[in-house]
Amino acid sequence: MRKNIIAGNWKMFKTRGEAINFVLQVADKVPSQDLVESVICVQAPVLRDMVKRQGDNLRVGAQNVHFKDSGAFTGEISAVLLAELGVTYVIIGHSERRAMFNETDETVNLKIKQALAYDLKPIVCVGESLDIREAGTTKEFVSAQVEKALEGVSESELEQIVFAYEPIWAIGTGKTATPEIAEETCRDIRNTIERLYSKDAAQKMRIQYGGSVKTSNIVELLAQEDIDGALIGGASLVPEDFVFMVNAGVQK
């Protein structure tokens, strides 16, 4: 059975004080990683503070990584440094970065390979716009994103990767995909992995749903067969809500 992974994507929210306070409030309330994995992905300047305070049950992730070891890339973050800080996960290819910071399928692929080289676990975001959904080509679009993301990634490396299916029309809009819609595309992603690798690899792959996940809808989303967790923006900023949603990920 795949273990659920519940990850908060804090985006550009919370001061250092607020972030530390959050961890102090939730650290002893989230269940053990044996039952469910819980992660918070924070702004780079507070990564060190977060890693220092993470318990055995809470892991820390970054929201971006560059694909080169070092160089003249003003404002970017290296995998070397993230690994040195003790960061576990890194979000790659979030739709906000694709839309606003020129992230492409090609850079997503390079970043995944760079993260893997430094033992950082990529949370790879894919998902369609409203236009694509309405045109009826979601399956082809998302499959192509998955295929391009994984170019040159071996089957043994796949176990380090988590996919997050995040329909762009559901992010920050309050419009959650229905459990059926979310499940359908998560299943398509699993089928794509099976086509590219093997049935075994597809069965092991963890696929999160993201887009307006909150305390009132997480249970029914996680009840879907091919949804193995959630990537949560807005609702993950509230300590009690985060703890509730992580607990919802414990498999009964």
Q: Footprint of ligand PGA on this chain (CB under 6 A)?
A: 9, 166, 171-172, 210-213, 231-235
Residue of minimal CB distance from ligand PGA? 233
Q: Is 134 a catalytic residue?
A: no
Q: How far apart are CA 106 and CA 151, in angstroms?
A: 9
In the bound state with ligand PGA, the residue whose beta carbon lies nearer, of 58 and 202, is: 58
Smallest distance, Å, CB 168 to ligand PGA?
Answer: 9
Smallest distance, Å, CB 54 to ligand PGA?
Answer: 20
Token representation of residue 231: 């990537």
Backbone angles phi, psi at 160, to 5 degrees: -85, -10
In the bound state with ligand PGA, the residue whose beta carbon lies nearer, of 93 and 233, is: 233
Adjacent-strand bridge partners of 38: 6
Smallest distance, Å, CB 232 to ligand PGA?
Answer: 5
Asked if residue 38 lies in contact with residue 6, where contact means CB atoms within 8 angstroms, the answer is yes
In the bound state with ligand PGA, the residue whose beta carbon lies nearer, of 57 and 212, is: 212
In the bound state with ligand PGA, the residue whose beta carbon lies nearer, of 13 and 118, is: 13
Q: Is 66 a catalytic residue?
A: no
Exposure string of 95-126, with b = 16+ CB inside 10 Å and e = fewer, is bbbbeeeebebebbbbbbbbbbebebbbbbbb
Q: Which of 37, 94, 96, 103 is catalytic?
A: 94
The number of beta carbons lying within 10 Å of the beta carbon of residue 18 is: 12
Catalytic residues: 94, 166
